[in-house]
Amino acid sequence: MEIIKVNNYEEMSKTAAEYIIRKVRQFPEATFGLATGSTPVGTYKRLIEDHRENGTSYKKVATFNLDEYIGLSGENPQSYRYFMDSQLFNHLDIRKENTFVPSGSAEDLAGECRNYESKLKNHGGIDLQILGIGNNGHIGFNEPGTSFLSKTHIVDLADSTIKANARFFNTIEEVPTQAITMGIATIMQSREILLLASGEAKADAIGQLLGNGVNEQFPASVLRNHPNVKVIADKAALSASKVRV
């Protein structure tokens, strides 16, 4: 695992965006795995700026998002489909039909999980996966205790995740309690992974990630077994880590 230490959120976003832009230019048909949440917003802003200013094209790119809330349709402003459209896709020349987010409003949710896996397989898998990290070590919505062998599946969100995500909703009661998420095995099949972390709130999680041990109670620790992971973290996020970077 390579650790790239940066000063703050802005620098993390710039470093991640530059990395993604290089990938798209070298490999215009790349398939990206994408995350929602606060962490990648600054990165997405920079991709949009670069697209406007330098014309980097996403016409041949495909994207697969990590997760979606169950019970919310893509028109719901709290859904991750809506988030991705408004924060990124609507501002690039990417073809909407090449942007995949699991459907949280599918009637057959188990079928939706299987479908998502086969679509991903048909696209040849993920070249570069962007990840954030939950305070409890979740990646995607794979909460502590999730099997490392899991594929795309339905999860009950941990109370701490519901609390953390309540900031996007009017009341905590509105936060869905279930989601569809790519599994840990799905994420681990990505050829390359970029995990982003910023701020003191992530310090303990990053400390554990960079500490010792791989175990299912701390899902992100599985990344220690992946041959090609870069962690772009700012000073605050690295403040509880013992490793020297």
Among 35, 101, 195, 236, binds ligand F6R (CB under 6 A): 35
Nearest distance in Å: CB 187, ligand F6R: 10
Among candidate residues 136, 142, 165, 234, the one labeled active-site is 136
67 touches ligand F6R (CB under 6 A): yes
- 117-156 residues near ligand F6R, rule: CB under 6 A: 132-134, 138-141
Nearest distance in Å: CB 77, ligand F6R: 16
51 touches ligand F6R (CB under 6 A): no
Among candidate residues 65, 68, 138, 142, the one labeled active-site is 138
Shorter beta-carbon distance to ligand F6R: residue 58 or 141: 141
How does 40-63 read in b/e, with b if 16+ C-beta sit within 10 Å?
bebbbebbbebbeeeebebeebbb
DSSP single-letter state for residue 180: E
CB 44 within 8 A of CB 88: yes
Among 8, 14, 19, 38, binds ligand F6R (CB under 6 A): 38
Could you identify the residue written with the tokens 């949440």? 37
Nearest distance in Å: CB 244, ligand F6R: 25
Amino acid at site 213: G
Nearest distance in Å: CB 26, ligand F6R: 25
49-53 LR contacts (CB < 8 Å, sep 24+): 50/17, 50/21, 51/91, 51/92, 51/93, 52/91
How does 78-89 read in b/e, with b if 16+ C-beta sit within 10 Å?
ebbbbbbbebbb
For residue 76, the SS3 value is: coil
Amino acid at site 130: I
36 touches ligand F6R (CB under 6 A): yes
**Catalytic (active site) residue 226:** no
Stretch that binds ligand F6R, among 11-19, 36-44, 97-105, 233-241 (CB under 6 A): 36-44
Shorter beta-carbon distance to ligand F6R: residue 29 or 200: 200
Beta strands in the chain (DSSP E): 2-6, 31-34, 62-65, 67-69, 99-100, 128-131, 153-156, 178-181, 192-197, 229-234
**Catalytic (active site) residue 51:** no
33 touches ligand F6R (CB under 6 A): no
Q: How far apart are CA 14 and CA 49, in angstroms?
A: 11
79 touches ligand F6R (CB under 6 A): no
Interacting residue ranges for ligand F6R, rule: CB under 6 A: 35-39, 66-67, 132-134, 138-141
